[in-house]
Structure 1
C-alpha cells in the first residue's frame, strides 16, 4: 500500500511580481457572502496594511497546497485557519524578504526568535504542518484523524531531522507557542481592520 504520508517533492516558493494595492486587495477580499459588502477605506490604509494583507493572502494560498495540511478537505482547512490565521501570519511575516511589519504588540520577541533560527523551506513546511494539522479544531472525525496523523508524521520528521541537534529541535518547537503572542484581535485591529472594516477576518480567511 502506498504510504499517503510519503514526503512530496520539495518545491520552492512561487514568485509574485506585484505588491497588492488597496484596489487589488478589495477584489481579493471581496465575495465573502452575498449579504456582506466589502468597503475599504483608502484614507486609513498605509503600505504596512497593504503588505500585511499580501502576506496573509499568499500564506493561506501556499499552505492550502502543502504536503500535509493541503491534503485536508477545504472545510477542515477553513475550520483550522479561522482559528490560527494569526499564528500563520506571524510565521510568514518573520521570513518576509524585508522587515516591513513593525509596531506589532508582543511580536518583536517572536520575530527575533524565528529569524535567529534561520529555518529553511523544509523546516518551515514541517512547522506549518505541526501548527495547522489541528485535529481538535476539526469536527469531521475522518478529517480530524487525518490531521492528527499528518501532525504526528511531521513531528517525527522534525525529530529525525534534528536527532543529533536536540537544542535546535527544542528551539523550533518552542517557537510555535510564540506565534500566538500577538493575539488575533491585536493583529486584526492594527493591520487588517483599516482594509476590511467591520467584516470579521475569519470570514475573509475562508474565502482565500
Structure 2
C-alpha cells in the first residue's frame, strides 16, 4: 500500500486528503460528526494514549479524536464546509429549527426594535436550554443539573451575552454596572468560536464543588478535565498556544461572585426582579 494512501489516523486505506490530513472515509466521517456535534468523549482507559488502528479505531473515540487533531485535521474546515447544492434547502430547514431552540431568531431584529428585557430574557432562556442539551452536562440527574445551575447560571449568561448573535453592547452599556460592562467586554474580546464556547460552558457546568455525592464529584471532575484537554488540543490545533491560557484566564474571571449581583442588578434595571427570578427559581 502506497504511503500516500494510508490513513494517518488508523492506517486504513485512504482515498485522499480530508480536513487537512490524509485519512480514510471512516476517520473523516468520525471527525466531521464529532466536530459538528461538539462531542466530548471520555478515554475508556482513563489515561489516554489508547491504540488507534484499523482494528481498534472504534474502541476509544476520545483517543481517536485526539489522534485526528495530532495528524493535523482541521476543525475549522468542518465548520466552513458547505454541503452539495441539492442538500442546502434541507440544511437550511435544520438550521432554522436549531435557531428556534437557541433563540437565534433575534438575529433578524435590532436591539432598537426589541425591549431590553426581551433580549435579556432570550439570552437567559438560551443559557438554560443550552445547558440542558450540553452532551456532558445532560448525563447528570436533573437534581444535580439544577444544583449546579443555581450557582453558575450567571457565568453562562455573561459568556452568552458577550457572544450573542446580535450586538447588544448598547443594552449592556446602558443597563449594567461598571464591573459587568468590563467583564463582558473582556469576554467579547476573546472572540471565541462555537467549539470554544461549548467547551468553556462544559467546564463552567461540570464543577465538582457543587456535586451532590462522591460519585458525582468524580464524574464532574473527569468531565471537566476531558473538556480542558480537548480545549488545549483545539488551541494547539489552531497553532495558538497562548490562546489556551487566555481562555482559561477568561473562564476564571467569569466565576467571581460579584458578577452574579451585577447581573441581577441589570435585570432589575430593565424588568424588575420578576423576570430573572421566574427562570432561576424554577431550576
Could you say which TM-score interval applies, normalised by the shorter chain? 0.7 to 0.9
Structure 2: distance between partners of 1:18 and 1:156 = 33
Matches within 5 A, 1:149-188: 149-163=222-236, 164-180=239-255, 183-188=259-264
Contact 1:78–1:206 (8 Å) recurs in 2: no
Distance 1:176 1:110 in 2: 11
Q: For 2:184 and 2:270, how far apart are their aligned partners in 1?
A: 23
What secondary structure sits across from 2:133 in the alignment? coil
- Quickly say closer, same or farther: Cα 1:192–1:145, change in 2 above 3 A: farther
Contiguous gaps of at least 5 residues in structure 2: 1-39, 43-60, 66-78, 80-93, 107-113
Does the CA-based 8 Å contact 1:82-1:205 persist in structure 2?
yes
Question: Whose relative contact order is higher, 1 or 2, with alpha carbons under 8 Å and at least 6 apart?
Answer: 1
Give how far 1:166 is off.
1.9
Q: Which residue of 2 aligns with 1:204?
A: 279
What is the root-mean-square deviation of aligned Cα atoms in Å? Answer: 3.1
CA distance in 2, matches of 1:146, 1:153: 11
How far has the Cα of 1:144 moved from its partner? Answer: 2.0
Structure 1 length-normalised TM? 0.72
Shift of 1:99: 2.5
Q: CA deviation at 1:142?
A: 1.9
- 1:57 equivalent to 2:112? Answer no
Q: Is the 8 A contact 1:80 1:137 kept in 2?
A: yes
Does residue 14 of the first structure (1) align with residue 98 of the second (2)? yes
- The whole-number CA distance in structure 1 between the counterparts of 2:231 and 2:248 is 9
Measured in 1, the distance between the counterparts of 2:105 and 2:231 equals 34
Q: Specify which structure has the higher proportion of helix.
A: 2
CA gap of 1:4–1:125, structure 2 versus 1, over 3 A, is: closer
Secondary structure of 2:218's counterpart equals: helix
- Name structure 1 gaps, 5 residues minimum: 20-45
Q: What is the alpha-carbon distance in structure 1 between the residues aligned to residue 142 and residue 272 of structure 2? A: 23
